[in-house]
Structure formats: C-alpha cells, structure tokens
C-alpha cells in the first residue's frame, strides 16, 4: 500500500522554471514605470498571485495607482510573459521530472496540479504535458491564493481524495503554509524544504516518499 494515494504538484519551481520569464516581464514594466526592481524582489513573488505580486512591486513607488491602472500593468506584464513562454518546449521538462512522474503514475497514484498561475494550461502545453494530469486546479478556479489552501483543497476534490491521502509538492513557503492549512503533508524543494513535512534535495526523492 502506498503512503499516499495522490500527489498535487505546484508548477512553477517544481515541474518547470519560469522565474527568469516572470523576472524579465516584471522588470520591463517596472522600468517603464521608473520603479526599482531586482532579483531579490523577484524571489518574493514565488507562488504569489499576479495581482499580489504587483502590490509587492508597487511597494517601491510613492505613487498611488487606481485599480484600472493596476489591471493595465498586470495585463501588460502578462502579455510580455506569455510571449517569453514561447521559448519553452518539451526540452524544458527534465528527464528526472518526466521519469519520476511516470513512476508515480505506474504505482497507481492520482496526479494533479495545484498552481497559482492563470497560465498553467499554456505552460503544460509548452512542456507537452497537457493531457498528463488527472486534474488541474490553478489560478483560474480559485478566489483566494496561497497561503490559503483553496487551490490544493480543490485539486484533492477534483481527484476524489481527502487531504490526508495526498502529498503536496512545493518550492515556496506560501505553498507549504497553504498545504499545512488544508491538512496536507508536503514535500519541499529549495526554500520550501525547511518548512515542509519532507525536505527534498531532488525531485526524484518523491518516489521514496510516496511509493511502498
């Protein structure tokens, strides 16, 4: 009997790496507005929704922006970001991630996505994973973003499992907090490792955590 019946994967920072594209797109709009932005600030945007990311960027501005202005800035950033995502292809899915996903699937586990991103389906298409997962819960079906557990709770519902039957895989502290708040165990990569139920150094370690 496997330790978990399902695995819910965060997308950015876990299955693929879009950080550099988020950075380039936010940098372009911040430069245009004359707002200071660097990679340290970009690190704070990991796992955070688009509008919450914009609020973090605007902390460096003395100006007040209207809701309409904020929406226009976020749309401009997203247009640049989606253009940059065209650089991604199935070559950006590592063999380690591909083989681990297949091993979990072959062990009979349900596999779902739990991502804050509204571009999830597009990114999965770029990676050649559009038909791979049993369910996708993302920025398009939630009203509250991480650290609220909604994205994971809905993913578990979509695959018909209870939170305690699922493992959440995350790279961001906000994501691990969301998992904890929803009653999920978590496996953390990078900065998330310190806060998660299981600290992972490599994605392939998931096999040992989940199977058997």
Question: What is the x/- site pattern for ligand B16, positions 27-66, by CB under 6 A?
Answer: ------------------xxxxxx--x-------------
| Residues 22, 24, 25: CA angle, nearest 5 degrees | 65
Q: Closest Cα partner for 4 from 193, 148, 191, 179?
A: 179
12 is catalytic: yes
Task: Confirm or reject binding of residue 119 to ligand B16 (CB under 6 A).
Answer: yes
Contact at 8 Å (CB) between 47 and 195?
no
Cα separation values, 127 from 63, 136, 143, Å: 39, 15, 26
Contact region with ligand B16 (CB under 6 A), list: 7-15, 59-67, 100-108, 125-133: 7-15
Task: Confirm or reject binding of residue 177 to Mg ion (CB under 5 A).
Answer: no
Task: Confirm or reject binding of residue 138 to Mg ion (CB under 5 A).
Answer: no
Cα separation values, 123 from 84, 93, 120, 160, Å: 11, 11, 5, 25
Closer residue to Mg ion, CB minimum distance, 35 or 117: 117
Residues lying near Mg ion in the complex (CB under 5 A) are found at 10, 12-13, 47, 171-172
* Catalytic residue set: 10, 12
Residues lying near ligand B16 in the complex (CB under 6 A) are found at 10-13, 22, 45-50, 53, 78, 115-119, 139, 172
């Amino acid at each position: 009997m496997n330790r978990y019946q399902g695995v819910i994967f965060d997308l950015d920072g876990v299955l693929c790496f879009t950080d550099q594209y988020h950075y380039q797109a936010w940098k372009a709009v911040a430069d245009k507005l004359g707002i200071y932005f660097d990679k340290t600030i970009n690190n704070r945007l990991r796992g955070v929704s688009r509008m919450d990311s914009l609020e973090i960027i605007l902390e460096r501005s003395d100006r007040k922006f209207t809701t309409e202005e904020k929406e226009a800035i976020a749309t401009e950033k997203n247009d640049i970001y989606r253009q940059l995502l065209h650089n991604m292809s199935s070559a950006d899915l590592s063999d380690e991630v591909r083989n681990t996903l297949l091993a979990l699937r072959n062990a009979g586990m349900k596999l779902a996505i739990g991502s804050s991103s509204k571009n999830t389906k597009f990114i999965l298409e770029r990676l050649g994973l559009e038909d791979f997962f049993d369910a996708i819960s993302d920025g398009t079906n939630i009203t509250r973003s991480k650290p609220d557990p909604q994205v994971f709770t809905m993913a578990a519902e979509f695959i018909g499992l209870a939170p305690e039957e699922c493992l959440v895989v995350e790279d961001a502290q906000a994501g691990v907090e969301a998992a904890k708040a929803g009653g999920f165990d978590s496996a953390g990569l990078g900065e998330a490792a310190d806060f998660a139920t299981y600290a992972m150094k490599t994605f392939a370690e998931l096999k040992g955590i989940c199977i058997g």
